[in-house]
Chain A
Amino acid sequence: MINTGDILETIGMIQNEHLDIRTITMGISLLDCCSGDIDVSCTKIYDKITRLASKLVKTGEDIEKEYGIPIINKRISVTPIAMILASSGGDPVKYALTLEKASREVGVNFIGGYSALVQKGFAQGDEALIRSIPEALSRTDHICSSVNIGSTKTGINMDAVKLMGNVIKNTAYATEDRDCIGAAKLVVFCNAPDDNPFMAGAFHGAGEADCVINVGVSGPGVVRSALSKIPDANITEVADMVKKTAFKITRMGQLVANEASKRLNVPFGIVDLSLAPTPAVGDSVAYILEEMGLEQCGAHGTTACLALLNDAVKKGGVMASSHVGGLSGAFIPVSEDAGMINAARSGCLTIEKLEAMTAVCSVGLDMIVVPGDVTPEIISAIIADEAAIGMINSKTTAVRLIPAIGKNVGDELNFGGLLGSGPVMRVNTASPEKFISRGGRIPAPIQSLKN
């Protein structure tokens, strides 16, 4: 029989430390749904999604029951809609409404892929889709949108950066009556991965198979709890403990991914071995950093602790899964992490410190509430800074800012659920307007010339 200690450890992880599978995400290619007529495309898309994903939610629930592992979300990612729009033309919001209808029919929590990839320039359909994002997100509840504006290989499309400052602001305006929640479902990427199962940035890349299952794990609470058992260990031992814990968490993700893939008869894609926090107390990445010996997240030393954590999570997880992908690492979304929320409220955690942290975490400036009067140019400049970090370091970076319309530093927004709540954070208001208005492209860095 299995060792009693091991059994109790696993039960404790699930019961007390919030271990769960964050998401089973079915990636669906819509390339075969392209038509010259947008209404025909919409019909094909609806039919394909509802056919392939009809059993997704039920299968997730069955696995949850049988294996005793909570599976929080069942989601869908689709081919970037701008690619479909390129051949159909027409009003892109029709696609958003079609995806919304399909997501309600199959019962998933989110559907990602209202996206455009414009790292080098705008193809047919891209700009129209991007400009429709505020309306699309205000008229739907389940759609997530992302735009890739740069990559190590191509440099940064500064015209798109400029455009996105306005789009984020307008999305917040369009959902002002719902705590500006639209902006929480819109992310701007540099080096966006094609197989990311996490929202809001999930889409099904053009090089992917027709339909795949990707799984995202979670488990910050488990790592923190493991570290709390070795309070006086040196940093080498801390890194080892993170690796061992990440291994166990990822093994569970791989098990669920295999099982879901088998039951749905859909190939397994990747396990994304991310530490994804939730607002629940104890399920926080910030608390892991504090457990390592910081008074509060945001203190000097935070970037070093996060670098160690991010790297050890990957090292531990990579052997536990046959295919690792997506974002894989430690997320630092402010409003979704109880420890980050506290640190932002107390003023210990600032946007500047978060920017430094994004150089070593798995994604970027995530779920940060900024004052409603921040100009689109400042938002664009924040995107440009963040994309530059990603471009030069060959890593994914992202920006998901929520301008709190009508609110200022000291106020809070509350999105509810996994999106959490967050204090409005101070933003440096010195103007980058001239820089942003120049447009053009930041050339691809020397790191891109690897051939």
Chain B
Amino acid sequence: MRAVVTVVGKDMVGILSKVSGICAQNKMNVIEVSQTILQDMFCMIMLVETAEGANFAAFSDEIKAEGEKLGLVIHAMHEDVFNSMHRI
């Protein structure tokens, strides 16, 4: 499956490295990354794909918890949510 990971919060050193590190540990392959600064807020969107043996639920919990530790809001959602909501 493919999932979208969003990271929103105050910009700081090493966000990309931390988030992609957790992706790697959980066997999530990062396919695409885009990042912007929206009204002083750092905003990164990653498209990831689960590799063999990956546990998406555990990854989702871990990355959310890491976000809370860093003061960032991190969400991981199945790609289908966006496809069904925004495409006919």
Contact = CB atoms under 8 A, between A and B. Distances in A.
A68 B75 contact: yes
Contact of B34 (A1, A65, A248, A254): A1
Contacts of A448: none
Nearest to B31: A1
B76 interface: yes
Contacts of B78: 66-68
B61 A69 contact: no
Interface string B45-88: 10100000000110011000000000001011111111111100
A3 interface: yes
Contact of A252 (B1, B76, B81): B81
B22 to A, nearest CB: 16
B84 A68 contact: no
A255 B1 CA distance: 15
B84 A252 contact: yes
B81 A69 contact: yes
B23 interface: no
A449 interface: no
B60 A66 contact: yes
A230 interface: no
A50 to B, nearest CB: 25
Interface in A60-102: 62, 65-69
B86 A2 contact: yes
Contacts, number: 70
A263 to B, nearest CB: 13
Given A7-B45, A251-B85, A252-B85, A68 B34 contact: no
Given A68-B75, A69-B77, A2 B82 contact: yes
Contact of B43 (A2, A8, A255): A8
A11 interface: yes
Contact of A6 (B34, B56, B77, B82): B82
B28 interface: no
B36 A10 contact: no
Contacts of B77: 10-11, 67-69
Nearest to B34: A4
B16 to A, nearest CB: 16
7 contacts: A1-B32, A4-B36, A7-B82, A65-B56, A67-B80, A68-B81, A255-B84
Interface of A: 1-4, 6-11, 14-15, 62, 65-69, 248, 251-252, 254-255
Interface of B: 1, 4, 6, 8, 32, 34, 36, 43, 45, 47, 56-57, 60-61, 73, 75-86
Given A67-B81, A252-B84, 8 more contacts: A1-B34, A1-B45, A2-B4, A2-B86, A4-B34, A6-B86, A11-B8, A252-B85
